[in-house]
Amino acid sequence: MAEISPLSVFTHVDKWYPSEVKEGLERTVDKMKCCLEHIELAMEMYIDEHEEAPILEMLPEEEKLSTTCEFCKEAAIYMVGN
């Protein structure tokens, strides 16, 4: 089995995740709140961490007003995770 170098891991992170997200990659990704534009990124992060498909839920109306996307700070619409 081929060994993965740290350089290739950081290149992958730099390619897909914005700088705000890269700083928090040490945390375990359980549930993320995101907008429609970043739902695919949130799903990819969850799958990378847990190696299983996440549950996708719409946020309740009362949470949509005050919750922001973890990637761009726009209004969050979905919660990705289990």
* Amino acid of residue 47: I
What are φ and ψ of residue 16, in 5° steps? -100, -30
Could you give the CA distance from residue 9 to residue 13 in angstroms, rounded to a whole number? 6
pLDDT in tens, 10-63: 434 445 555 555 555 444 568 899 999 999 999 999 999 899 999 999 999 888
**pLDDT value for 16:** 52
Domain tally, the chain: 1
Tell me which residue of 37, 40, 41 sits closest to 16, measured CA to CA.
Answer: 41
Determine, yes or no, domain membership for 50: yes
Question: Are the C-beta atoms of 23 and 65 separated by less than 8 Å?
Answer: no
Q: Is the pTM of this model over 0.75?
A: no
Q: What is the mean pLDDT of residues 6-12?
A: 41
Domain residues for 66?
30-82
Determine, yes or no, domain membership for 38: yes
